[in-house]
Amino acid sequence: MQILRLTVRHDCPFSNPVARTGSSHVTHLCHRGREAMLEVRTPRPDDLQELLTTYQGLGGTVLLRSEDGESALVRFPLCECCRRGKVIPTLEEGGLHYLPPSVYVSSGEEIYQFLSPSGSIDLGSLTGPEGKVEVVRTAVRPLTDLEFTEGFLVPTGVLFQDLTPRQRFALLTAIQRGYYRIPRPVSTEELGHALGISREAFEALLRKGENKILASLFPYLVLGSGAADSGEAPDPPPP
């Protein structure tokens, strides 16, 4: 068995509005077309209001809105994308199983995960004349029971809940500009200039964001190392 991670672009009533904003992303929980729940996040309250107005025009109901005006939860009685027979139903008809949630980002891309019981994965039904879906990236990895369990036990809300919008944006900018690659094609001074702040201010945002994510990951790292069973600190990895 395998896990397919799929990044696509296509005409979707839920993701199209996200692509018109500068920094929003939407997490989409779909219940096989019968219902859809969208968690909308953006550091700009004006973008959030624009998205919510669009989604309400499509029949969505705002269930919850954060006090800071940067996130909201929207419910739809039907998943319009599934009703049009796009990504999820098309691949499930081909034998794959959708693993929610999917994510829509402001670049116009949509990210999905599917479980494939067989060794071969055919995306022709998506990209053919009837599909009209652009496949941007694919990644396939083999699945074992342990990997499957660990891969879906860590909630992203736990990992990222302490990040401020500025820290989140700094981390995203660093990743997208290749800061974590070896060798680095960009410096923190250049990244800070792109955000209109000093190198020192950008590095402070980056360090604080990294520290918060690592602190959130620590319990899961300990659990995976087996140290939680012994009550001892894990041994360092070999050099």
φ/ψ of residue 98, rounded to 5: -70, 135
Pairwise pLDDT comparison (22 vs 28), residue with the higher score:
28
Closest listed residue to residue 205, CA positions, set 230, 172, 157: 172
Cis? peptide before 77, omega within 30° of 0: no
Judged against a pLDDT cut of 50, whether residue 7 lies above it is answered with yes
The DSSP symbol for 236 reads: P
Residue carrying structure tokens 């796009």: 86
Rounded to whole angstroms, what are the CA distances from 54 to 3, 37, 91, 95, 128?
A: 33, 15, 28, 33, 30
Mean pLDDT of all residues in 142-171: 68
Per-residue pLDDT tens over the stretch 41-50: 888 888 899 9
221 vs 46: CA distance, rounded Å = 38
pLDDT-above-70 percentage for the chain = 80
Count of positions (residues) in the chain: 239
Mean pLDDT of all residues in 196-204: 94
Q: What is the rounded average pLDDT for all residues in the chain?
A: 81
25 vs 41: CA distance, rounded Å = 6
Judged against a pLDDT cut of 90, whether residue 95 lies above it is answered with no
Per-residue pLDDT tens over the stretch 23-42: 788 988 876 667 888 999 88
pLDDT band at 230 (very low <50, low <70, confident <90, very high): very low
In the chain, where are the structural domains located? Answer: 2-144, 156-230
Whether this model's pTM surpasses 0.85: no
Judged against a pLDDT cut of 80, whether residue 85 lies above it is answered with no
CATH topology for 156-230? Arc Repressor Mutant, subunit A (1.10.10)
Rounded to whole angstroms, what are the CA distances from 182 to 148, 164, 207?
A: 29, 27, 18
Mean pLDDT of all residues in 191-209: 93
How much is the pLDDT for 19? 85
Structure tokens belonging to residue 10: 């296509």
Per-residue pLDDT tens over the stretch 152-164: 445 555 567 778 8
Mean pLDDT of all residues in 54-58: 93
Judged against a pLDDT cut of 80, whether residue 226 lies above it is answered with no
